[in-house]
Structure 1
Amino acid sequence: MKALKTLALMLALVAAPAAFAAGAMEGMDMKPSATSQASQQAPHPVAAEIRKIDPQAGKVTLKHGPIENLGMSAMTMAFPVKDRDSLKNFKEGESVFVTFDKVDGKPTVVDMRRK
Structure 2
Amino acid sequence: MNYKTLTLTLLLGLASLQAQAKMTMNHEGHDMSQMEGMDMQAMEERVMTKGVITRLDQASGKVGLKHEAIENLKMPPMTMVFLLADPALTKGLKVGDVVSFLVENRAGKLTVTQLQKR
For the criterion TM > 0.5, the same-fold answer is yes
Using structure 2 for the length normalisation, give the TM-score. Answer: 0.60
3-state SS of paired residue (1:89) = coil
The yes-or-no answer on 1:51 pairing with 2:51 is no
Mapped partners of 2:76, 2:45: distance in 1: 16
Given that 1:62 and 1:78 are in contact with CA atoms closer than 8 Å, whether structure 2 keeps it comes out as yes
Match of 2:85 in 1: 82
Superposed displacement of residue 39, structure 1: 9.6
Report Cα offsets for 1:30-59 as digits up to 9, x if no partner.
xxxxxxxx8994231001000010111100
Using structure 1 for the length normalisation, give the TM-score. Answer: 0.62
Paired residues in the alignment total 78
Superposed displacement of residue 102, structure 1: 1.4
Structure 2 residues not aligned, in runs of 5+? 1-40
Mapped partners of 1:100, 1:69: distance in 2: 8
Mapped partners of 2:50, 2:43: distance in 1: 21
Greater share of helix: 2
The Cα RMSD (Å) is 2.0
Structure 1 residues not aligned, in runs of 5+? 1-37
